[in-house]
């Protein structure tokens, strides 16, 4: 009897020691979490590889939520998230070297759209602003049924902040919800909703495919024939209501 009691006590102590010595793993994303979460403090780090095999790191962070007036919008003020995008290439802007962008995202609970984008150089000087009316779609939570498709259009007003006149152009896209896929990227393996976006304006056709995971957001983006972006690290505070 004494031997049996001693064995039980030793086993309990061993299990307790194992528990104390085990590093706690971060919680897995909620399977029913938001496909496009937005909460101040959230960030996503991506590795982007282009057709020339050049690899860069792109970081997006939700840095604030503010009330802001937009010049080309009829509303007096909108409550928007401020997303800072740090991209080594300056975000594809030929008049910047390094630097970052600040994007203003309006989210009404279903549609999240980019209303404005400010481009800064590596010294922190504002070089360009872009306003989008009614907004450049980032995600629509009400349209995630496989086979669903719809058109989007916006007018973009660009100001190079150098005293020249503001220019404007119109862009249109066709969106389609593709079959869901399980996607493995450096940040993990995720069951994804898949969207395809095809440009329907201009002389060239660009096709992008986006993979969104519940409670995480975008985990992969493919620009056909050009580049691929995969999620390597992220922190999402809210996985249920997107912080709206």
DSSP state of 36: S
C-alpha distances in Å from residue 223, one per residue of 33, 48, 50, 112, 230: 26, 11, 9, 21, 12
Kindly indicate whether the domain formed by 2-235 is annotated with CATH number 2.40.360.20. yes
- Would the pLDDT of 189 be above 90? yes
What letters, b where the CB count within 10 A reaches 16 and e where it falls short, cover 41-79? ebbbbbbbeeeeeeeeebbbbbeebeeeebeebeeeebe
Q: Of 139, 173, 136, 178, whose CA–CA distance to 157 is shortest?
A: 136
Give phi and psi for 234, each to the nearest 5.
Answer: -160, 160
Could you report the per-residue pLDDT of 47-76, keeping only the tens digit for each? 999 877 778 899 999 999 999 999 898 888
Interval 79-105 mean pLDDT: 77
Q: What is the DSSP annotation of 126-177?
A: EEEEEEEEEEEEEEETT--STT-EEEEEEEEEEE-SSSPPPEEEEEEEEEEE
Q: Show me where the domains of the chain are located.
A: 2-235
- Take residue 34 and report the two structure tokens written for it: 């938001």
Interval 150-170 mean pLDDT: 95
Q: What is the CA radius of gyration of the chain?
A: 22
Q: In what helix (H) or strand (E) does residue 13 lie, and over which residues does it extend?
A: helix 2-21
| Predicted local confidence at residue 202, as pLDDT | 79
Band of pLDDT at residue 103, cut at 50, 70 and 90 = very high
- Would the pLDDT of 152 be above 50? yes
């Amino acid at each position: 009897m004494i031997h049996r009691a001693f064995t039980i006590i030793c086993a309990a102590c061993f299990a307790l020691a194992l528990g104390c010595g085990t590093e706690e793993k971060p919680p897995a994303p909620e399977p029913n979490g938001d496909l496009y979460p937005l909460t101040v403090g959230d960030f996503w780090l991506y590795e982007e590889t282009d057709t020339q095999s050049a690899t860069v790191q792109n970081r997006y962070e939700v840095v604030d939520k503010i009330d802001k007036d937009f010049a080309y919008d009829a509303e007096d003020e909108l409550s928007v998230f401020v997303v800072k995008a740090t991209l080594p290439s300056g975000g594809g802007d030929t008049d910047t070297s390094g630097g970052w962008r600040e994007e203003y995202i309006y989210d009404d609970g279903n549609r999240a759209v980019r209303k404005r984008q400010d481009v800064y150089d590596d010294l922190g000087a504002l070089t360009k602003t872009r306003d989008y009316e009614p907004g450049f779609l980032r995600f629509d939570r009400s349209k995630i049924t496989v086979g669903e498709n719809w058109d989007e259009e916006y007018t973009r007003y660009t100001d190079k902040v150098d005293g020249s006149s503001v220019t404007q152009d119109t862009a249109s896209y066709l969106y389609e919800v593709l079959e869901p896929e399980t996607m493995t990227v450096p940040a993990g393996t995720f069951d994804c909703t898949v969207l395809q976006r095809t440009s329907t304006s201009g002389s060239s056709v660009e096709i992008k495919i986006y993979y969104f995971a519940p409670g995480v957001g975008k985990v992969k983006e493919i620009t056909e024939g050009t580049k691929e972006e995969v999620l390597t690290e992220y922190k999402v505070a809210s996985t249920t209501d997107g912080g709206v």
